[in-house]
Amino acid sequence: MSYLLRIDSSASGTASYSRQVADTFAEAWGGDVVHRDLARNPICHLDAAGITARTTPAHQHTPEQRTAATLQDELVEEFLGASSYLFAVPMYNYSMPSVFKAWLDHIMIVGKTIGLGDAAPTAGRPAVLVSARGGSYGSGAPQHGKDFVVPALETILGDTNLMGLDVRSITPELTYAPIMESMQHLVPLHQNSLANAHDMAHRCASELAPISAAGRP
């Protein structure tokens, strides 16, 4: 384990607030980073070949199953080889981008990355989740309770029966305020939320990098 695995999933390129905050984290990290950009280089969604390849002996694989198994092996090896993780996953229509869900579906394999009763091989490793959103979903906000990104990913990534990562979430909010007339009065709140997100990203990197380095072989 010797690198930070960064996964980006926003389709907005450099305009993405999730990417921008993740950039702040990566710049403060200081160590090696392996970067997979799922928006620029998407992977296919999990299909029947990918599912059946997991339970079919390799010598019996069809060409489609061999292709699927090769992709999954690559993604799993990359995931397991990291000492820490940075996930930039914006909110799209109350949920996560489909490209990130596709990545999860390929790497979530019982006995390889998922514990289900036994400790996962990644248990306890630090992870930072950056999820920008156009509105506000905190307590008291009109959209409270409609965030199906962060709670879901904190469970998937952090549950001890699954991947067991030590997840910290950063959520820059109100990103529509600068571009939607009806939200113009919320621009100061957006700016404050974004500044806090960058500050938190920098602090998290400064705190976690030494811990990650200490755990490297």
Name the residue ranges covered by the structural domains of the chain. 4-214
Q: Strand 84-88 relative to strand 126-130: parallel, antiparallel, unpaired?
A: parallel
Treating both helix axes as pointing N-terminal to C-terminal, what angle do 63-80 and 98-107 enclose, rounded to 10 degrees? 90
At 68, is the secondary structure helix, strand, or coil? Answer: helix
The gap from C-alpha 23 to its chain's centroid, in whole angstroms, comes to 14
State the sign of the Cα–Cα–Cα–Cα dihedral 61, 63, 66, 68.
Answer: negative
Q: Which helix (H) or strand (E) holds 4?
A: strand 4-8
CATH number of 4-214: 3.40.50.360
The span from the CA of 197 to the CA of 25, in Å, is: 10
The gap from C-alpha 84 to its chain's centroid, in whole angstroms, comes to 11
144 in Cβ contact with 103 (< 8 Å):
no
pTM of the model: 0.93
87 in Cβ contact with 171 (< 8 Å):
no
Per-residue confidence (pLDDT) for residue 115, from 0 to 100: 78
9 in Cβ contact with 86 (< 8 Å):
no
* Listed residue (133, 138, 129, 126) closest to 170, CA to CA: 129
Q: What does the pLDDT profile of the chain (217 residues) look like in tens digits? A: 589 999 999 999 999 999 999 999 999 998 899 999 999 999 999 999 999 999 999 999 999 999 999 999 999 999 999 999 999 999 999 999 999 999 999 999 998 999 777 789 999 999 999 999 999 998 888 889 999 999 999 999 999 889 999 999 999 999 999 999 999 999 999 999 999 999 999 999 999 987 666 655 4
Per-residue confidence (pLDDT) for residue 117, from 0 to 100: 74
* Listed residue (157, 152, 170) closest to 120, CA to CA: 157
Q: Strand 33-37 relative to strand 4-8: parallel, antiparallel, unpaired?
A: parallel
The span from the CA of 79 to the CA of 4, in Å, is: 10
Angle among Cα 131, 175, 79 to the nearest 5 degrees reads: 20
